[in-house]
Each structure stands twice: as C-alpha cells, then as structure tokens.
Amino acid sequence: MIFRAAKTINRNPTTRFLHHHVNNLQSKTSSSNLHKPKRKKVIPFVAELKQVQDPKQALSLFNDYKERSFKHHYPSYAALLYKLARSRSFHDVETVLDHMQRTNIQCRESLFVALFQHYGKSKLPDKATELFDRMPKFNCARTLQSFNAILNVLVDSDRFDEAIDVFLRSRDMGFRPNTVSFNVMIKGWLEKGEFGKACDVFDEMLQRKVQPSVVTYNSLIGFLCRKGDLDNAMALLEDMNKKKKYANEVTYALLMEGLCSLEKFDEAKKLLFDMAYRGCKPRLVNFSVLMNDSGRRGRIEEAKSVLHEMKKRRIKPDVVTYNILINYLCKEGRTAEAYKMLVEMQIGGCEPNAATYRMMVDSLCRVGDFELGLSILNAMLVSGHCPRPETFCCLVVGLLSSGNVDGACFVLEEMEKRRVEPDMESWETIVKSSCSEDKSVTELITELASLST
C-alpha cells in the first residue's frame, strides 16, 4: 500500500453506479437527442468518497478500491486531496502528492490553487510556496492563475515583503501581471495602511496598460470610506464612471457604510436611489448596511421599515439580514419580537444559522426565559449547530433554579455527547445550583467532570 494503514470503513460491497441515459431506440433517430451533451461519467470511488467525512476513512477507502484492482486516475487523486486538505490532514496530502509525482500523474492547475488556499487558511504559507515551486514536477505548467493565488496567500498570511519579491520577479518567472495581480498588491498595501503606495500600484497598472476593474476601485473606495474620507471616495466613483468602469452594489455599500459612520443615514439612504438611477439595482448588501446602522443607533422600527422596503421591492431577505434585526432586538431585550422574527424567517424559507440560534438562546438566558431557551437549544442541536460552553452552562443553571431538573439533565447529556468542557467558574456555578438530592443530575455532573481530567 502506498499510504499508511487506516481503519477500514464499513460500506455496502455492491457500490451503486449512476448510469448514462438509456432508452435510446428513439434517440438514434431523433436529431434533438444527438445534440444533447453527454452526461459526465460517474467514478465509483469519487461518488462514494463524498459520503466520507473522516480523512483516515477516506484513505482507507482509496486503498480498498486499489486492492480490488480499481485503477485510480487523476480525478480520484484530486477528490482525495480535496477531502484531506479540507480536514487539514496535510501530512497525508503530502504523502499523496509524493506518490503522484513518483508515478507521473498529470495534474491540473486548479488542484494546486485549491491546495494553496487551504495551506493559507491553515497559516502554512511556506507549504504553499514550496508546492508552487514544485508544480512543474507534476507535469503542470504554472500560469497567472497559480501565480496570483500564491501572491494572495502571501498577502493574506501577512508575508507582504515576500509577496512584493514574488511580484517583482514575475517577469523572470515568465508571467506578465494582470488586473488580479495588481489588485492583490493594492490590497496588501491598503492592509498596511499605505494608501499612497496603493495609489502608486494603481498608477503602475495604468502605465502598463492593465485595466483596473471594479474590484480595484472598491478596494480604494473601501479604504477611504473606513477612514471617513468620503469626498475622495466619491471622486473615485466619478472616475470610475468616466472610465466606463461601472460601480456595483458592493461599491455603493462601501460608500453607504462610510456615510453611516459619519452619521449621514439620510444621505446613505439616498444612494439607494442614485445607484438605481445609474443602472445598478440595489441588493441585499445595500439594505443590510442601512438596517445595521439603524439597529446600531437603537432605531429598531427604522430597521424594520428597511426590511419592509426590501420585501416591497421583491428582494428576499437572507439569514444575514434577519440576523441583523434579531441581534439588535436581543440587545434591546425584546426577545419576544426576536423570536417572532425567527419564526418569520423560517416560514419564509430562510434557515437560521448557528449565529441566529446563539443570539436567541443567549438573549433568552439573559431575560430568564429558560424554557423557551431550552426549546431553541433543541432546535439548534437538531439543525447540527452547537452553542458555546457558557451558553450550555447558563441554561443548566437557569433550568435548575427554575425547578426543571429534566431539562437541565437533557442539556448536561448534550454537553457530555459533544464533550463540551465548562471552565472552572462555570463548574462552580453548576455545582452550587445542583446541590440537591437528585441523583441523575449528580451523576451527569460527575461524568462531565471526568471529561476534563
């Protein structure tokens, strides 16, 4: 075996295969069917790998197929590498890559770009640059796509000096930087707070006849808005229009945020009409900026009117939109209204996320409505989300103090299942609250205590 042993998983030996469309006596004579694109061939290993979560099981499945004389080609290796990288099993990623290099498996550039991104997210930029240097050994030519990807990893990893070096060596490496390359460098200078240097890169773009994109302008406009320099931000908007680089909803959202930060809500709201007049349809992000500012200023009814305006324009709110309102309602202690909003979003087909549930449970605990908090917690767990340890503990204490021992036991059991370990202060509070003769509570607390020893 090329990989170290992994625990074999239990699976049905008769793997299901998805077949191409059949029934084709008529298709032979039908000209319309002749022009239909062929369905992508399903690879059994790849199809089964999608159902596997554990990286060791993924490796075991790969080896299992190999032992049954299934010949793995590039799609199998790529799917396995994606799975391992998402699980941050980078030692196994490198083992698979070494094998692919030895056996001359030809790779696509998109695979390396994805691996760079995973290394970057895991704070391993050196691994990304090493792999970038190794790419030619995998019979894979490096293009601007991988060059820009590694540049972005270095900038996002706060390795900007190295990014500058890579950028300056682009010609020696056979690359001519494009709009994306320059955008990454502008982003890097702005993150350093160097607006002048970012403008120098912008000027260099123009000198090299590389066209700025809306992303280029958005980066500069966003920086100016965060600094409160709305005059220059608006000047850049006009420059965009002159150069026929039309602003998008993000451009206007950045400007609206800048205006709101200067307490100019009415001017920000007016931009909704200005952007529509200029041919840019307002989107969720624009309304969310207004809702967030209204909520921040304690103007909940104003935020609700923005939501109403969205619906009037047939713009469907998403989970982020609802979370803005729920968050501010909870902060104001208006939990009944927040709960009503939670129900409304679900009726409208918008699924709450972990943040929605956490805000609701925490708020209900603060106002002492532990029964409803328990109900929301249960819905949260069923949805696959998990609250913070302090939320668990607050519910346990609250339920015990209100006499709901069964509810407290349920929460303790869920903590045990998820191996949630409270801090010392939370332990003391739980123990004090559970000083009763109820053996079930005492036993559960003992089991939880054993997790942290």
Q: Are residues 321 and 361 in the same domain?
A: yes
Write out the DSSP string of 367-406: HT-HHHHHHHHHHHHHTT----HHHHHHHHHHHHHTT-HH
Write out the DSSP string of 128-156: HHHHHHHGGGGT----HHHHHHHHHHHHH
Whether 249 is in a domain gets the answer no
More confident residue, 408 or 325: 325
Distance, in Å, from the CA atom of 350 to the CA atom of 358, rounded to the nearest integer, reads: 16
Q: Are residues 429 and 350 in the same domain?
A: no
CATH number of the domain within which 322 lies? 1.25.40.10
Work out the pLDDT band at 4, boundaries 50, 70, 90.
Answer: very low
Q: Are residues 364 and 426 in the same domain?
A: no
Buried b or exposed e, range 130-169, using 16+ CB within 10 angstroms: ebbeebeebebebebebbbbbbbbbbbbebbebbbebbee
Q: Are residues 79 and 23 in the same domain?
A: yes
Write out the DSSP string of 277-346: HTT----HHHHHHHHHHHHHTT-HHHHHHHHHHHHHTT----HHHHHHHHHHHHHTT-HHHHHHHHHHHH
The number of beta carbons lying within 10 Å of the beta carbon of residue 35 is 7
Whether 228 is in a domain gets the answer no
Distance, in Å, from the CA atom of 65 to the CA atom of 75, rounded to the nearest integer, reads: 14
Instruction: Report the pLDDT averaged over residues 332-340.
Output: 94
Q: Are residues 71 and 29 in the same domain?
A: yes
pLDDT for position 423: 64
CA-based end-to-end distance of the chain: 38
98, pLDDT greater than 90 = yes
Which residue is it, tokens 């026929």?
A: 244
Q: Indicate the DSSP class of residue 106.
A: -
Q: Are residues 70 and 13 in the same domain?
A: yes
Q: Are residues 442 and 354 in the same domain?
A: no
Yes or no: say if 353 and 322 are a contact pair by the CB < 8 Å rule: no
Whether 122 is in a domain gets the answer no
Closest-CA residue to 187 (of 173, 167, 170): 167
80, pLDDT greater than 60 = yes
pLDDT per residue as tens digits for the range 344-389: 999 999 999 999 999 999 999 999 999 999 999 999 999 989 888 8
pLDDT for position 443: 55
Least confident of 32-46, 141-155, 284-298, 410-424: 32-46
Whether 397 is in a domain gets the answer yes
Yes or no: say if 166 and 148 are a contact pair by the CB < 8 Å rule: no
The number of beta carbons lying within 10 Å of the beta carbon of residue 262 is 12
Taking the model in full, what pTM does it have?
0.79
Whether 342 is in a domain gets the answer yes
From 88, 105, 122, the end of a domain falls on: 105
Domain count, the chain: 3
Q: Are residues 417 and 331 in the same domain?
A: no
Positive or negative: CA dihedral 30, 31, 36, 39: positive
pLDDT for position 435: 58
pLDDT per residue as tens digits for the range 416-453: 888 877 666 655 666 655 555 455 555 555 555 554 54
The parent domain of residue 14 ranges over 1-105
pLDDT per residue as tens digits for the range 129-157: 999 999 999 989 999 999 999 999 999 99
Using a 10 angstrom Cβ sphere, with 0-12 exposed, 13-18 middle and 19 or more buried, the burial of residue 439 is: exposed
119, pLDDT greater than 60 = yes
Positive or negative: CA dihedral 125, 128, 130, 132: negative
Q: Are residues 2 and 13 in the same domain?
A: yes
Closest-CA residue to 94 (of 113, 105, 81): 81
Bin 123: left if φ > 0, else alpha if -120 < ψ < 50, else beta.
left
From 368, 387, 406, the end of a domain falls on: 387
From 387, 410, 444, the end of a domain falls on: 387
pLDDT per residue as tens digits for the range 247-256: 999 999 999 9
Q: Are residues 371 and 400 in the same domain?
A: no
Tokens of 363: 């708020």
Q: What is the chain's Cα-based Rg?
A: 28
Whether 353 is in a domain gets the answer yes
Whether 171 is in a domain gets the answer no
Q: Indicate the DSSP class of residue 192.
A: T
Distance, in Å, from the CA atom of 117 to the CA atom of 123, rounded to the nearest integer, reads: 10
Helix (H) or strand (E) holding 55: helix 55-67
Q: Are residues 335 and 409 in the same domain?
A: no
Tokens of 401: 């103090």
pLDDT for position 43: 86
23, pLDDT greater than 50 = no
Whether 288 is in a domain gets the answer no
Work out the pLDDT band at 406, boundaries 50, 70, 90.
Answer: confident
- Cβ-Cβ contacts under 8 Å for 12 (sequence gap 6 or more): none
Q: Are residues 96 and 80 in the same domain?
A: yes
pLDDT per residue as tens digits for the range 369-381: 999 999 999 999 9
Write out the DSSP string of 205-241: HHHTTPPP-HHHHHHHHHHHHHTT-HHHHHHHHHHHH
